[in-house]
A and B are shown apart, each in its own frame.
Chain A
């Protein structure tokens, strides 16, 4: 059995590598097949058409907005789930994570009956002069709905791994709860928060089902890149493939960003002694 490059014992049976390679291929092969299908001669005109650029711009803008919304709503949720202790906490966690396993179209229907014109809140909002149906706001709501669990899961994990010992020390030094949150807790879990935010952004970028069901599809207003791809597929397969590649490229960049930064932070001078365990543990959740 081959030894690790540093001479350490790897402990992975060889046949695992075969299965791992199959798993890797299973993901990479379809992407490669799509790249092969790209009509490179017309690639640039296809992705720079007005409809494409508007869809890409809309996708980036709405995803950024929903990421901000995820951060604003997700940090308190993660804190309450990780640090709080109240009846129904487990139940609340299951509910918050529900959009992860729910088909997006179900999310879209649920949002429709909440924020739609005939919905639970929609009627009140309409009276207040706020119209969500068929607006960019609807897109952002749909994206936030499906992306929020990613931020909450990521951050809650980071908070749990970090533990509350630093916070306890900060409190005994005279820092009030808000100061502790601002100066200790959030900086400590920043890597977890960052990766959670990036994952939320990526999930927002890929959101399709809930948007289609809830927000509709209008160029420049609600037709995000995935919806544009779906529509282009009807008539122009080349355009759909070209735009898919753009979306893949953006997603790859985003994921690379998410998984590179924590590791870069880890490369900081290695601490020694007992502190190492806590410091490493603090960053542990995001790896």
Chain B
């Protein structure tokens, strides 16, 4: 009996420690408040700190958007955390301190909505379509989606379980072409990596990935990509301690400034 009590103490202690770790960013909030109070009463004035969980494909644009946001709203601080959308959902479900969640697909956002972990409805803010990425020399002379099915062409795609793979499946069906990929990666980054290293002759990635890779890969757009348009939703997380600031950030992403930055990175309007 005493051992059981002891074990419970251990578990509770561990839980408390985890809880403390999770709350760690909180103390910084009052510290940044004085900065905001310098111009009290200004309309739409926001302050404090928020943490934004965003899909890995948003890394470049959201880093830009966050610094723009901080510049326009002195006294605010936006902390960013990037990972695969499903990883982020798992983290938020397990109590990670997120204020805003930006997903690379609607499916993962729905998971959070179903779990009642969102504050209000999600807003779509961008779309992304697939593109063929080939090494700059285009060794297999790929010109169309159908070329990917040619024998001997080493093509790499995402596995069906991840959003980019689901999109690839849809495109395949729409084009009536069956691919025989040499590898089905679990992230679009891995697909891109296989193309930039020259291991693969071609890979199916997002337009934004091709743009982000600069001259390391060449992008080949194809018509069928329009059959699988990936929509990016964004929402405030229910457990947020600064919903006002979260809302302001979302407003910026969905507003004209945000859309301009997203469009420059290759994202489509939602």
**Residues on A close to B: CB < 8 A?**
25, 112-113, 116-118, 133-134, 212-213, 215-219, 222-223, 227, 230-236
A199 to chain B, nearest CB (A): 27
B84 contacts the other chain (CB 8 A) = yes
Answer whether residue B183 sits at the interface, using C-beta atoms and an 8 A cutoff. Answer: yes
In Å, the complex CA distance between A232 and B162 comes to 9
Contact with A along B178-193 (1 / 0, CB 8 A): 0001111110001001
Give 22 pairs: A residue, B residue, CB < 8 Å, sorted on A. Answer: A113-B197, A116-B197, A116-B199, A118-B198, A133-B154, A133-B182, A134-B183, A134-B199, A217-B183, A217-B184, A217-B190, A219-B184, A222-B183, A223-B184, A227-B186, A230-B186, A231-B159, A231-B162, A232-B161, A234-B84, A234-B159, A234-B161
Would you call B185 and A217 a contact (CB within 8 A)?
Answer: yes
B10 close to chain A: CB less than 8 A: yes
- How far, in Å, is B8 (CB) from chain A's closest CB? 13
B198-234 to A contact mask, C-beta < 8 Å, 1/0: 1110000000000000000000000000000000000
Inter-chain contact A25/B184, CB cutoff 8 Å: no
Verify A234–B154 contact, CB threshold 8 A: no
| A218→B182 contact, CB < 8 A | yes
B84 touching A134, Cβ below 8 Å: no
Q: B29 at interface (Cβ–Cβ under 8 A)?
A: no
A231 to B186, CA, bound (A): 6
| Cβ < 8 Å to A, chain B residues 144-199 | 154, 156, 159, 161-162, 181-186, 190, 193-194, 197-199
Given contacts A25-B10, A112-B197, contact A212 B190 (CB under 8 A): yes
Whether B161 and A216, one on each chain, are in contact in the complex, defined by CB atoms closer than 8 angstroms, is no
Write the nearest CB–CB distance from A134 to chain B, whole angstroms.
Answer: 4
- Which residue of the partner chain, among A133, A212, A234, A235, contacts B199 with CB atoms under 8 Å? A133
Neighbouring A residues of B185 by C-beta, 8 Å: 212, 216-217
Chain A residues, Cβ within 8 Å of B197: 112-113, 116, 118
Contact with A along B29-63 (1 / 0, CB 8 A): 00000000000000000000000000000000000
Are A112's CB and B161's CB within 8 A?
Answer: no
Top-4 shortest CB links A-B:
A216-B183, A118-B198, A134-B182, A234-B161
**Roughly how many angstroms separate A222 CA and B159 CA in the complex, as a whole number?**
13
Q: Which residues of chain B are within 8 angstroms of A227 by Cβ–Cβ distance?
A: 186
| B156 lies within 8 A of A216 (CB) | yes
Q: Which of A116, A217, A223, A236 contacts B198 (CB 8 A)?
A: A116
Q: Which residues of B contact A (CB under 8 A)?
A: 10, 84, 86, 154, 156, 159, 161-162, 181-186, 190, 193-194, 197-200
Beyond known contacts A218-B182, A223-B184: 19 more, CB 8 A cutoff:
A133-B182, A133-B200, A134-B154, A213-B193, A216-B156, A216-B182, A216-B183, A216-B194, A217-B183, A217-B184, A217-B190, A218-B181, A218-B184, A222-B183, A227-B186, A230-B186, A232-B161, A234-B159, A234-B186
Please name the residue on chain A nearest to B108 by beta carbon. Answer: A234
B247: min CB distance to chain A, Å: 30
Whole-angstrom distance between the Cβ of B14 and the nearest chain A Cβ: 9
Q: Report A104 CB to chain B, min CB distance, Å.
A: 14
Which chain B positions have C-beta within 8 A of A118? 197-199
Distance in angstroms from A144 CB to nearest chain B CB is: 19
Closest B residue to A133 using CB positions: B199
A230 to B190, CA, bound (A): 13
Known contacts A219-B184, A222-B183; is-contact A231 B199 (Cβ 8 Å): no
B185 (CB) vs chain A CBs: closest residue: A217
Q: Which of A212, A222, A233, A234 has the most CB of B within 10 A?
A: A234
Please, which residues of chain A bring their CB within 8 A of the CB of B10?
25
Tell me whether B193 and A217 are in contact (CB under 8 A): no
B90 to chain A, nearest CB (A): 8
Which residues does chain B contribute within 8 Å of A233, judged by CB atoms?
Answer: 86
Taking the closest CB of chain A, its distance from the CB of B255, in whole angstroms, is 32
CA distance A216 to B157 in the complex (A): 10
A52 → chain B closest CB, angstroms: 13
* Bound CA span A239–B162, Å: 15
Please determine whether B186 and A217 come into contact, CB atoms closer than 8 angstroms. Answer: yes
Are A112 and B181 interface neighbours, CB within 8 A? no
B160 to nearest A CB, angstroms? Answer: 9
| CA of A152 to CA of B258, assembled, Å | 56
A113 to B199 Cα, complex, angstroms: 10
State in angstroms the CA–CA spacing of A215 and B84 once bound together. Answer: 21
| Residues on A with beta carbons closer than 8 Å to the beta carbon of B183 | 134, 215-218, 222
**Chain B residue at smallest Cβ distance from A109:** B197
Is the pair A217, B159 in contact by a Cβ cutoff of 8 Å?
yes
Residues of the A chain whose Cβ atoms lie less than 8 Å from the Cβ of B198: 116-118
- What is the bound-complex CA distance between A268 and B195, given in angstroms? 58
Residues of A within 8 A of B156 (CB): 134, 216
> Across the interface, which residues of A come within 8 angstroms of B186, CB to CB?
212, 217, 227, 230-231, 234
Bound Cα distance A232, B181 (Å):
19
With a cutoff of 8 Å between Cβ atoms, the chain A residues found around residue B200 in the complex are: 133-134
